Amino acid sequence: MTDPDHDLEQALRALRPRPPGPAVAARIDAELAVPAARRGVVIAWSAGFAAAAAALAAFVFLAEPVEPAAPAYQLVRADRSRPEVQLFRPVELADGSYARPVRVRWEDTTRWEDARTQTHLIDYRPNDRLTLLPLETH
């Protein structure tokens, strides 16, 4: 069996590249060499950018952040309203006993003040509780 690709692979393995001629090496050296005047300009610009970056970094990282002082709230007043009680008709439970549903509602309000900034914070919390009170029947 002959493999047509085998001959091609053998021929490619036998190839050896020639070293570049002296004209190619001279041309690469000429392209890579930077004129002395241009080199000084590049160094000067690089040093300027480095100094600017260092100054910016020092300003950003070393400067104290200017933040307004947080409010210092003090409790001024706390109120709780009178509870409102609602009684409902008794209900029969699964075990045959009776209970009366009772709902109690009230409001808690606290007032906080910051004397320095003259700001107020009012915390209003309505409360609603529902429970069953067992009833004894004879």
The residue with tokens 């480095």 is 50
Reported as a single tens digit per residue, the pLDDT across 109-130 is: 999 999 888 889 999 999 999 9
Q: State yes or no: pLDDT of 1 exceeds 60.
A: no
Q: State yes or no: pLDDT of 92 exceeds 80.
A: yes
| Mean pLDDT of the residues in the chain | 84
pLDDT value at residue 137: 67
Q: Which DSSP letter does residue 86 get?
A: E
Q: State yes or no: pLDDT of 138 exceeds 70.
A: no
What pTM value is reported for the model? 0.44
Ramachandran angles phi, psi of 108, nearest 5°: -110, 130
Three-state DSSP at 2 gives coil
85-108: buried (b, 16+ CB within 10 Å) or exposed (e) per residue? eeeeebeeeeeeeeeeeeeeeeee
